[in-house]
Structure 1
Amino acid sequence: MSNPLFAGGGFLGFSKRFRATVVNDIWAEVLFFTAIATMVACVSHFTPTSLAISNQMLTVLGTVLGLVISFRTSTAYERFMEGRKLWTSIAIASRNLAQVIWIHAPFERVDKKTNQQVSHLKIIIEKKTMINLIQGFAVAVKHLLRGEGGVYYADLYPLISCLPRFASAKHTSEDDMMPLWRASDMDHRMHHTIRSQSFGSETMNNVLLRAKSDPHLLSEKHGNSSEFSDSEVGWLNTLRGHSGKKFDPEAALPIIPSEQPLRPARNPPRSSVYDYFPFLRILRPLWRPVTRHFSQNRDPSTHRRRSITGKKIRPSLADSNVPLEITLYLSTYFSMLLRAGQLQPASATTMVNAISSMQDTVTNLERIKNTPLPFAYQAHLRVSLWLYLFFLPFQIYDAFKFLTIPATAFASFLLLGFLEIGQEIENPFNYDLNDLDLDHFCLSVQRELHEITAHTAPDLEEFVFSEWNQPFAPADRRSAKEMMADVAHDYHGLETGVHSIRKTLLKSWREVDETTRQP
């Protein structure tokens, strides 16, 4: 599937493609080295002093730097592809786990306390809740990798809001709060620049109200607390289809009131005129007093996405335990099925392997996220490249004269661009247009899980032996229902049945082999 950010043509499509380049990150350095080349050319041409020097080191150093930059870019691309493969592992493990829960765990169960048959409705609600947790796992990993801690997001909270808040229903205090919710509350308050480490009275009252009463009471007290604030511009305000209809995938999720305002499912940095004309960033300090008034109510998480020269400011790492907590609840459900004798050994093995794969995958994704290239390597490579580009115009002036200026600009753009591309894609989990489309991956998992739960596990008699099935085509184009009804046919004979069926299948093979081969 193509990236929706690059859909469409015209100016909008061009602007998105332009922002996907690294021009904003390297324009200042390219401008600096071009100015050096201009100074060398002008001084050498208009004054008796020639700044040209020998170019003996040009070829040797250029070859070495080219190899090192190529290695840097290749290493970053390996991390990019490994991240993509790990997300494929999440999708596979999610499908396998959901299939075991939905199909292999039986719908018949006897309550050991009452010896009564458990209703199908109760079991289906139980299974669907666990599959929602599987979907929530993928969403939680997405927010973890983007440095967004906690659970208060429009695409995550509705899936896991049913999880218990406190260790005991009888003791609902701050000390009894489960790690998932306590950490999420602290992350939420830090998001809004509240640094206090204690629970505020209003926040704690909201949590207690959520824990002790019907969710409708919380909704009546706070209104629709799931609505985004004006500063929290989410996915539905940034992505629109060709028809102008808002793309709002969160509309397919449950509507659950929350004790905290929900942050948008997707909160990329806002684009501005500086993204299209990066040289205007030099004038930004002059405009800051004028624009400060209009940015007072802006979400703090959207500030400082780029430096004064346009370089991206990487988001801080999030210490989130949400994916781990979700796998603990899935493991608890697996343990319950085992104790109840509800799983066959093969299904139990598939289920435990899927949960283990999910845990391994998120650990490996965190490894990619939290292990940047060593600073000494990055600093040494960048300083070496700067020195090479700085002395480049001095070495090529004798051969190029005033063409030294565009030649230096092109060399700077080329080498600095490859270096910056390597730095950008080594962590492919952010909101950059060149990063992996984590939202698309999560929505794909969501669609697949709902497709699994739409499967009704029908009796084979309902579809195998129907008039819509021609199992022996093309040799025998009768339906399965017709073949079963024709008891006089050789298929039903004690001595001719299997032999006649094999002849038909052999004829089908010959016809398919001849039909599908080009002459």
Structure 2
Amino acid sequence: MVAKNPLFRGRWTAKRFNATVINDIWPEVLFFTLVATMVYLVSEKTSHKLAISNQLLTVLGTVLGLVISFRTSSAYERYQDGRKMWTNITTASRNLAQMIWIHIPNEREDKGVQKKQTELQSIIEKKTMINLVQAFAVSVKHFLRGEEGVYYEDLYPLIAFLPRYANNPPAVQTAADRLPLWHIHDEHDVGFDGQVQNPRSAPAKDHPIQRTSSEPTHSKEKTLVDESKSEQNWKGSNRGRRSRRDSFDPEMALPQVDSEHPLKPARNPPEPSIYDYIPLLRFFKWCIRVMLRRAGPKELKHRKRKAYSEIVESNVPLEIMLVLSNYTAWLMRAGLLQPAIATGVTNNLTMLQDTLSNLERICNTPLPFAYQAHLRMSLWLYLFFLPFQIESAFKYLTIPGTAFASFLLLGFLEIGQEIENPFNYDLNDLDLDHFCLAIQRELHEITAHTSPNPAEFIFSAWNQPLAPADRRTAEQLAAVRGPYRGPDDLGEPGMDSVRRTLVKGWKDVDVMTRKL
């Protein structure tokens, strides 16, 4: 991912070249290089001269350069917008968690819609809603990657407790009573009765959660062994880093709940194939598929994840937001939120919804196909006729010159196309998993705060509030009998002396913090 250099980060493999655009443009570069070679050999080894006038070379090159620059700039702007939107999600999630955890009281009495409950019940309630804030970020991640549904290892444990049926519960549970959040999509092959129809993938009743490692190449048994030895392996720095990376499974920090459907991995990038390294083979693959489709009867289609999934219609973030909004409305009806804090909570919920809409806009608004096709065809024509125009002046240098020009121009064009949608699994895309895990850590850090009475920690021997003018501790200052007097203050004691001490502290700081 783009958090660090993806080419040289971690263990080096040939797959690291996917972080560049070489895999995508080398067939085109090779083609135009062969054209340049043909032009040079024919012009130099035969009596035929293929050179043509280069009058349009400068003009067309300038125009193409400006258009490609605009193409790359517009794609990078979308890339930056995506990162800004995730910053908004992080900020709003942090603000919501702080307001829920600190400003909602734990003491509840019977009053209107509010019912009396213990302090532990209040903490459970608030922590559950903060978990839903985390679930919102995770659901947005899956939404942007074109992954439908809620049955993922990092999402389902956070929302499994939410209501599933509109009638809570109906006498006979049917798919017609199921809320939109829990509707299963095509990959589960669900019938009208709400039951899984595919026997090969149908789990047993009360199917337990499957703890699939975030790294699909490692088996479950190896993960458990690595976890049992992780503390021992951390004794060596290099060995510790490798063991930590191999056993990395952040979903282990989530609740252990039962699922009626198998849970899919939290991060499931498509496996690279030979078509990713030799794009020219995709054409032959398409031809074979067309011929087989015409020759034989229609078979059952196998659904396979694409490297760049298209945006899907997803109601998961919306329904999580509805639950949080309903909770906020209940708090205001119960009088548990002050008006200013209620406004802040509502504003942050609105920010999350606006951010989701902006992210959807980025995914659903690609550059028009006509513009992309016309630009690529124009560039191909320019590169095709380039060796004809420069052969008479460059001779054998026409071959490396054409190769470099095609590599440069086609590379920028491909970069613009690659970063146009920065939410997939490509090495140059935004690291959405890192963003979600960072939000998870921050929310847990907020809920670790105990909200103590300020008097419990202010008047202690560790606090010197008036330093450097007065280095007595808060405990010593609070124990002083009579009015306050500064250490070197010869004036009247009391608040006047406190103010003189603060002024002296400013003077001392102003001198100590300036270089001579």
TM range (shorter): 0.7 to 0.9
**In the alignment, is the contact (CA less than 8 A) between 1:334 and 1:351 conserved in 2?**
yes
CA offset digits 1:12-53 (Å, max 9, x no partner) = 336464220011111111111111111111111111001110
**How far off is 1:166 after superposition?**
0.1
**How far off is 1:500 after superposition?**
1.4
Cα distance change, pair 282–113 in 1 and its aligned pair in 2 (3 A): closer
Identify the residue that residue 328 of structure 1 maps to in structure 2: 322
Identify the residue that residue 412 of structure 1 maps to in structure 2: 406
Query: How does 1:278-297 map onto structure 2 within 5 Å?
Result: 278=278
Cα distance change, pair 342–350 in 1 and its aligned pair in 2 (3 A): same
Identify which of 196, 202, 208 aligns with 1:224.
Answer: 208
Identify the residue that residue 167 of structure 2 maps to in structure 1: 168
Identify the residue that residue 42 of structure 1 maps to in structure 2: 41
Cα distance change, pair 188–386 in 1 and its aligned pair in 2 (3 A): same
**In the alignment, is the contact (CA less than 8 A) between 1:65 and 1:385 conserved in 2?**
yes
**How far off is 1:504 after superposition?**
1.7
| Distance (whole Å) between structure 2 residues aligned to residue 219 and residue 281 of structure 1 | 38
Identify the residue that residue 210 of structure 1 maps to in structure 2: none
> Are residues 1:92 and 2:91 paired?
yes
Identify the residue that residue 255 of structure 1 maps to in structure 2: 256
Identify the residue that residue 501 of structure 1 maps to in structure 2: 498
| Distance (whole Å) between structure 2 residues aligned to residue 322 and residue 225 of structure 1 | 20
Cα distance change, pair 37–517 in 1 and its aligned pair in 2 (3 A): same
| Distance (whole Å) between structure 2 residues aligned to residue 229 and residue 6 of structure 1 | 22
Identify which of 505, 508, 513 aligns with 2:510.
Answer: 513
**How far off is 1:429 after superposition?**
0.5
**How far off is 1:242 after superposition?**
2.4
> Are residues 1:460 and 2:454 paired?
yes
Identify the residue that residue 382 of structure 1 maps to in structure 2: 376
**How far off is 1:315 after superposition?**
1.4
**In the alignment, is the contact (CA less than 8 A) between 2:469 and 2:505 conserved in 1?**
yes
**In the alignment, is the contact (CA less than 8 A) between 1:224 and 1:257 conserved in 2?**
yes
Note the aligned Cα RMSD (angstroms): 3.3
Identity %: 59
Identify which of 304, 311, 321 aligns with 1:317.
Answer: 311
**How far off is 1:473 after superposition?**
1.3
CA offset digits 1:430-460 (Å, max 9, x no partner) = 1111111101110111011101111110001
Aligned length: 477
Identify the residue that residue 308 of structure 1 maps to in structure 2: none
Amino acid corresponding to residue 496 of structure 1 in structure 2? P
CA offset digits 1:341-397 (Å, max 9, x no partner) = 111110000000011110010000000011100111111111111111010010010
What 5-or-longer segments of structure 2 have no aligned partner? 224-238, 289-301
Cα distance change, pair 150–219 in 1 and its aligned pair in 2 (3 A): closer
Cα distance change, pair 52–147 in 1 and its aligned pair in 2 (3 A): same
Identify which of 472, 487, 503 aligns with 2:466.
Answer: 472
**How far off is 1:117 after superposition?**
3.2
Query: How does 1:326-365 map onto structure 2 within 5 Å?
Result: 326-365=320-359
Moved more, 266-275 or 323-332: 266-275
Identify the residue that residue 65 of structure 1 maps to in structure 2: 64
| Distance (whole Å) between structure 1 residues aligned to residue 389 and residue 219 of structure 2 | 51
SS at match of 2:12: helix
Cα distance change, pair 396–518 in 1 and its aligned pair in 2 (3 A): same
Cα distance change, pair 146–36 in 1 and its aligned pair in 2 (3 A): same
Identify the residue that residue 228 of structure 2 maps to in structure 1: none
SS at match of 1:56: coil
**How far off is 1:226 after superposition?**
2.2
CA offset digits 1:76-134 (Å, max 9, x no partner) = 11111111111010011111111111111111112348997311111111111110000
| Distance (whole Å) between structure 2 residues aligned to residue 254 and residue 370 of structure 1 | 34
**In the alignment, is the contact (CA less than 8 A) between 1:234 and 1:266 conserved in 2?**
no
Identify the residue that residue 436 of structure 2 maps to in structure 1: 442
**How far off is 1:486 after superposition?**
1.8
| Distance (whole Å) between structure 1 residues aligned to residue 7 and residue 470 of structure 2 | 47
Cα distance change, pair 398–445 in 1 and its aligned pair in 2 (3 A): same
Query: How does 1:170-249 map onto structure 2 within 5 Å?
Result: 170-171=169-170, 172-182=173-183, 185-189=184-188, 194=189, 198-199=192-193, 201-202=195-196, 221=205, 224-228=208-212, 242-245=241-244, 246-249=247-250
TM-score (norm 2): 0.85
> Are residues 1:3 and 2:3 paired?
yes
**How far off is 1:262 after superposition?**
0.6
TM-score (norm 1): 0.84
| Distance (whole Å) between structure 1 residues aligned to residue 169 and residue 194 of structure 2 | 21
Identify the residue that residue 230 of structure 2 maps to in structure 1: none
Identify the residue that residue 157 of structure 2 maps to in structure 1: 158
**How far off is 1:274 after superposition?**
6.9
Identify the residue that residue 149 of structure 1 maps to in structure 2: 148
SS at match of 1:431: coil
Amino acid corresponding to residue 358 of structure 2 in structure 1? N
Higher helix share: 1
**How far off is 1:170 after superposition?**
3.9
Amino acid corresponding to residue 130 of structure 1 in structure 2? M
| Distance (whole Å) between structure 2 residues aligned to residue 130 and residue 352 of structure 1 | 14
**In the alignment, is the contact (CA less than 8 A) between 1:186 and 1:197 conserved in 2?**
no
Amino acid corresponding to residue 502 of structure 2 in structure 1? L
| Distance (whole Å) between structure 2 residues aligned to residue 401 and residue 414 of structure 1 | 21
SS at match of 2:35: helix
**How far off is 1:63 after superposition?**
0.6
Cα distance change, pair 511–244 in 1 and its aligned pair in 2 (3 A): same
Cα distance change, pair 234–411 in 1 and its aligned pair in 2 (3 A): farther
Identify the residue that residue 76 of structure 1 maps to in structure 2: 75
